[in-house]
Amino acid sequence: MIKLIFLDGQEKSFTPGTTPEDVAKSISPNLAKKSVAAYLDDELYDLNRPMEKGGTFKLVVESDEEAFGILNHSSAHLLAQAVKKLHPSAMFGVGPQTDEGFYYDIALDHSITEAELAEIEKGMRQLSQEAHPMVRSEKTREEALAFFKNDPFKKELISAIPEGDKITFYTQGDFVDLCRGGHVGNTSKIKHFKLLSLAGAYFRGDSSRPMMQRIYGTSWFSKEALEAHLNLLEERKERDHRKLGKELKIFMLSSEVGQGLATWLPNGYAVRKVLEDYVYELERQAGYLHVSTPVLGSKKLYQTSGHWDHYQENMFPIMEKDDETFVLRPMSCPHHMTIFQSDLRSYRDLPIRYAEIVTQHRYEASGALTGLERVRAMTLTDAHIFVRPDQIKEEVINAYHLIETAIADLGLEVDYLEFATRDDSKDKFHDNDALWNQAEAILQSVLDEAQIPYKEVPGEAAFYGPKIDFQVRTAMNRVITMSTVQLDFLLPERFDLTYINASGQKERPVVIHRGLISTWERLMSILLEQYKGAFPFWLAPVQILLIPVNNNAHEAYTKEIYQTLMHAGFRAKLDLSDEKMGYKIRDAQQQKIPYTFVIGDDEVKNQTITYRQFGSPEQTHILVKDMVDIFKKEAEKKSRKK
RNA sequence: GCCGGAAUAGCUCAGCAGGUAGAGCAACUGACUUGUAAUCAGUAGGUCACGGGUUCGAUUCCUGUUUCCGGCACCA
């Protein structure tokens, strides 16, 4: 007999070979229905996998977080089985679950079309109805390789499994796949799914390898949950910053101007200017000194910094004129290094924090360009902080707090931090081990001492040093690097930066690279999606629209109020068109203007204004004399959640 | 850059199994002068992304290019 210890501490004996499903059924049929898999000690078991030993036993039920992944992983297998049935020559790469569903990579001579997705989906439904058990088996490496002897993809995946790890196969009907599991035990458990899209994907994520066809899908435990998810996907389309940016006339991307080159329209620039002013003031108060450097730089400057060696592929081609070679700057660090260099520095001067609202150009791969999210000309607030070694920690923490403030003021939230370190790919990183070890140790200790949780990502560092990236999850459920703090011992050396220490000796400063809120372009894309185009008051391109009830009778008073608002620094707009009032209000709502004033006889008589807020029909009356104060307070709140 | 798809009026889209295009909104003109999400009528607007081919004839079929979209790779 084997002994299982349940969640509540109860122990129960079962005959060896009992499956988790048997156990679940013995507890309650309802529980068995909701079970997806089980844990025996720390090992994930399929519902139908016989248990030959005892241990702590925990069922994974539909409502558990990991159940979704298990279902979707199983759904990927169902997809593969259906594809294999339609195309017996198909071979497969990987087929994992994702945050929101699953995919499987397929190698097939024939190009799968959108129309065929429905056919494949039908095949999946049939296989689900046929209720094939998904049976696990263990194989030796030799057996596994022999089984897939004609499949170079699976053979390679088998070879990549570390020595000593179990190699397991899953069989459902006549379909056999290499897989570590766990699975839902039977294809009949997979009922509510949809295939979503087709894409290309390199085998093992390596662009030098063959491209496979990837099918994306999503799978849920109920019809309602599936529909809810499909609705969410529809809603996301409504939030897409490219759609909203066009509708609200925020920006344009025109092939006439050039691929990946965004043009900011008046509405977009109004928002951007608020952000620029906000950031400037935030930095000024934090002791940053603002500078301005040219958009062009000598190629030598970038050779000195090392950017030329690492990124010339991603830079626009060089320009040669009068024996000098220029590049369109892709980065501002080298420029700021020269500013530090330009004067004799004392240890008393440090830290020196240079900030700049800087436009830079990068030759991004054409396929990477996406709306405002990825462009070839971008403007951002960039900063470089020059510190003594003893000031590193404090300044990293200062930068951390500044970033926290900015992100909170924008109404966004940091999802998690990434601590990006180097790995052993030598050509990606500069080769001074001592500097690397020092820099990584310092950043690590800052994170640890401040007790900030983070995810370490080896190999993601910049070539000049490790970094802490602030990852924000957008309204589209994409994770984007919003801010960054990078520690750099290399560029000070490359530029031979020095300051005079207390004993009169030259010493090397350390540079902290700080990115505050991504680029204006990317930030705009995130904000548009976050607010679905309905900007909070302080950012809105037009904050207040004024509508007179009768143009003739109320124009003068409305204009007076308009002037008061404009002089007080607000962005107001007057609608004196011949349209009906209802039309004007609808128009204001469609433009997502935060406040709409309606001004008629009552307002003139009482020296008031009547407003409604975006999205609400409620009417509020306030005295004109209180108006400016009320809206100034509203603007000061920024987008803070609390 | 790679795989796949798309491109019709300012916008959103319909249409064409090959016979040079249509709606709604927007724009313009006129009437209406209004108290909280679309007043009515009229007018104008298109080398059907661009180049080449097949054809008596191409927006439609084939092909190349460009741009965009879904992904992959890349992202200092």
Question: Under 8 Å CB-to-CB from A640, ≥6 apart: which residues?
Answer: A408, A409, A411
Question: Domain-by-domain residue ranges, chain A?
Answer: 2-61, 70-237, 275-530, 544-636
A485, A396 Cβ separation under 8 angstroms: yes
Token pair, residue A95, equals 């087929």
Q: Give strand B nucleotides closer than 7 A to any protein Cβ.
A: 1-5, 11-12, 31-39, 66-76
Classify domain A544-636 by CATH number. Answer: 3.40.50.800
- Rounded CA-CA distance A361/A374 in Å is 11
The letter for the amino acid at A33 is K
Tell me the nt nearest to A375, Cα to C1'. B75
CA distances (Å), A112 to each of A90, A106, A108, A123, A462, in order?
A: 11, 10, 8, 15, 39
- Helix ranges (DSSP H) in A130-265: 141-147, 152-159, 223-239, 241-247
DSSP state for residue A275 in the 8-state scheme: H
Do the strands A544-548 and A595-599 form a parallel or antiparallel pair, or are they unpaired?
A: parallel
| pLDDT for position A193 | 97
Which has the closest alpha carbon to A466: A520, A417, A523, A504?
A: A417
Which has the closest alpha carbon to A337: A357, A356, A315, A309?
A: A356
Least confident range of A252-256, A259-263, A349-353, A361-365: A252-256
Tell me the nt nearest to A618, Cα to C1'. B36
Do the strands A467-473 and A414-421 form a parallel or antiparallel pair, or are they unpaired?
A: antiparallel
State pLDDT tens for residues A224-242: 999 999 999 999 999 999 9
pLDDT bin (cut points 50, 70, 90) of residue A502 is very high
Q: Is the pLDDT of residue A533 over 80?
A: yes
> Residue A241 CA to B36 C1' — how many Å?
29
Residue whose pair of structure tokens reads 């404090």 in the numeric block: A394
Specify which residue's alpha carbon is closest to the C1' of nucleotide B1. Answer: A365
Mean pLDDT of A456-476: 93
Tell me the nt nearest to A551, Cα to C1'. B33
State pLDDT tens for residues A260-283: 999 999 999 999 999 999 999 999
| pLDDT for position A206 | 96
Question: Under 8 Å CB-to-CB from A412, ≥6 apart: which residues?
Answer: A472, A482, A526, A530, A639
Question: Under 8 Å CB-to-CB from A461, ≥6 apart: which residues?
Answer: A420, A421, A422, A429, A467
- Rounded CA-CA distance A376/A260 in Å is 5
A48, A186 Cβ separation under 8 angstroms: yes
* Architecture (CATH level 2) of domain A2-61: Roll (3.10)
> Residue A242 CA to B11 C1' — how many Å?
14
| pLDDT for position A1 | 87
> Residue A252 CA to B37 C1' — how many Å?
27
Q: Is the pLDDT of residue A145 over 80?
A: yes
DSSP state for residue A354 in the 8-state scheme: E
State pLDDT tens for residues A555-571: 999 999 999 999 999 99
Helix, coil or strand: residue A425: coil
Mean pLDDT of A467-494: 93
| pLDDT for position A424 | 83
> Residue A7 CA to B67 C1' — how many Å?
59
Classify domain A70-237 by CATH number. Answer: 3.30.980.10
Tell me the nt nearest to A461, Cα to C1'. B76
Mean pLDDT of A517-537: 96
* Architecture (CATH level 2) of domain A275-530: 2-Layer Sandwich (3.30)
| pLDDT for position A155 | 95
> Residue A583 CA to B43 C1' — how many Å?
22
Tell me the nt nearest to A365, Cα to C1'. B1
| pLDDT for position A115 | 84
A95, A69 Cβ separation under 8 angstroms: no
What is the number of helices (H) and of strands (E) in chain A? 20, 32
| pLDDT for position A435 | 87
Q: Is the pLDDT of residue A434 over 90?
A: no
Is residue A13 within a helix (H) or strand (E), and if so which, with residue range? strand A11-14
Q: Is the pLDDT of residue A642 over 80?
A: no
Which has the closest alpha carbon to A328: A319, A339, A320, A338?
A: A319
| pLDDT for position A7 | 86
> Residue A571 CA to B39 C1' — how many Å?
30
| pLDDT for position A246 | 95
A102, A96 Cβ separation under 8 angstroms: yes
Name residue A377's beta-bridge partners.
Answer: A361
Can you state the angle between helices A392-409 and A433-449, rounded to 10 degrees?
60
Mean pLDDT of A233-260: 94
Mean pLDDT computed over every residue of chain A: 94
Which has the closest alpha carbon to A328: A296, A358, A364?
A: A296
Mean pLDDT of A565-592: 95
Tell me the nt nearest to A478, Cα to C1'. B71
Name residue A462's beta-bridge partners.
Answer: A465
| pLDDT for position A32 | 92
Q: Is the pLDDT of residue A631 over 90?
A: yes
| pLDDT for position A251 | 96
> Residue A579 CA to B30 C1' — how many Å?
14
pLDDT bin (cut points 50, 70, 90) of residue A453 is confident
Q: Is the pLDDT of residue A158 over 80?
A: yes
Specify which residue's alpha carbon is closest to the C1' of nucleotide B73. Answer: A207
Name residue A378's beta-bridge partners.
Answer: A360
> Residue A246 CA to B23 C1' — how many Å?
22
CA distances (Å), A129 to each of A31, A190, A221, A448, in order?
A: 22, 9, 15, 52
**Predicted-complex ipTM score:** 0.95
Tell me the nt nearest to A619, Cα to C1'. B36
